[in-house]
Amino acid sequence: MICQECHERPAALHFTNTVNGHTTEVYLCEQCANDKGETLFSGHPTFSLNNLLSGLFNPDAHFSANPSLNEQETHCEKCGITFQQFLQTGKFGCAHCYKSFDSKLVPILKRLHGGNTVHHGKIPARMGGALHLQKELQSLREQLQEMVAGEHFEKAADVRDQIRALEKQVSDEGGGG
């Protein structure tokens, strides 16, 4: 999509504004969005995606209510970035940051995604059935390990039977294609 303002550059931002049931959509390139920043963001010309992320995390309200997050400033062992730096910039320093800040990210992600913390994604229709069965098998295998570890052997036997039935179903579908 091309920018609706300059009609030259590709649109990088999509804004939807709904007022009294009337919705307007605007597609802008980054330069035009910066130029129109004062009108689009009510007097905040320096608005950026980083500011949006920081606002969603809302550290003042959320982190002061959660004392475990205020105890000690954690940092990434690989790149050295602190969680406060992440909140200010909206960017992690490296891939290891996700593990370093996991305990602080889970409550935020739950709040942002309506309680969900696992990404299910979309599965192509031609692959859907087999992938769903594989995911279910993996889940059942994890349940089986937990039940055996907890010495719930009767329940574990039921789960084992479910696993065998699903494995047979997967092998039948694989052989018929």
| Beta bridge mates, 13 | 28
Mean pLDDT over the full length of the chain: 77
- Got the DSSP string for 69-115? GTSS--B-TTT--BHHHHHHHS--SSTTHHHHTHHHHHHHHHHHTTT
- Whether 137 and 150 share a structural domain: yes
Per the model's pLDDT, the better-predicted residue between 89 and 94 turns out to be 94
For residue 107, being part of any structural domain is answered with yes
For residue 108, being part of any structural domain is answered with yes
- Whether 28 and 41 share a structural domain: yes
Per-residue pLDDT reduced to its tens digit, 141-162: 999 999 999 999 999 999 999 9
Using pLDDT thresholds of 50, 70 and 90, give the confidence band for residue 49: low
- Res. 39: pLDDT tops 90: no
For residue 1, being part of any structural domain is answered with no
Judge whether 94 and 100 are in contact, CB under 8 Å: no
For residue 136, being part of any structural domain is answered with yes
- Whether 95 and 129 share a structural domain: no
- Tokens matching residue 59: 């550290």
Per the model's pLDDT, the better-predicted residue between 62 and 52 turns out to be 52
For residue 88, being part of any structural domain is answered with yes
The residues, ordered by sequence, that sit 6+ positions from 47 with a Cβ below 8 Å of its Cβ are 37, 40, 41
Full domain range(s) for residue 137: 125-176
For residue 30, being part of any structural domain is answered with yes
Per-residue pLDDT reduced to its tens digit, 5-19: 899 999 888 878 777
What global pTM score does this model have? 0.36
Domain count, the chain: 3
- Whether 143 and 101 share a structural domain: no
- Whether 57 and 105 share a structural domain: yes
- Whether 94 and 139 share a structural domain: no
Per the model's pLDDT, the better-predicted residue between 177 and 163 turns out to be 163
